[in-house]
Structure 1
């Protein structure tokens, strides 16, 4: 069965239900899915900063936490 057929079957089930608990459960699934992807809520600049930081980490361009903090402590 392909994805479009699955969607149609789910639509039929949803249209035929009179159980509000089922409808609420389905809504929660979609709300969780939407809430889980925060990436799309970030600005382009924030996404670029994260991508650059990830690239730096992958290249090994990191600093030890303690040596970094020594410079910033009094």
Structure 2
């Protein structure tokens, strides 16, 4: 059940980050990939700041923040 929940949270986080940064999503697979990588980035950043995310909502917020940062960095590199 943990893997399925991670994929769902990753997909939603990727979709939210895509809407925040670009105005649309990246498709189901793209959203999941962006969300999962964003969760790793978010976890790293939250740990550096001494913050903790609990529960599904906390995981979603952390993954979305990480995905937004990831997409921002990619956009800066592309320029």
What interval of TM-score do these two structures reach, taking the shorter chain for normalisation? Answer: 0.3 to 0.5
**Relative to total residues, which structure has the larger helix share, 1 or 2?**
2
The alignment's TM-score, normalised by the length of structure 2, stands at 0.31
The alignment's TM-score, normalised by the length of structure 1, stands at 0.33
Q: Which has the higher contact order (CA 8 A, sep 6+)?
A: 2
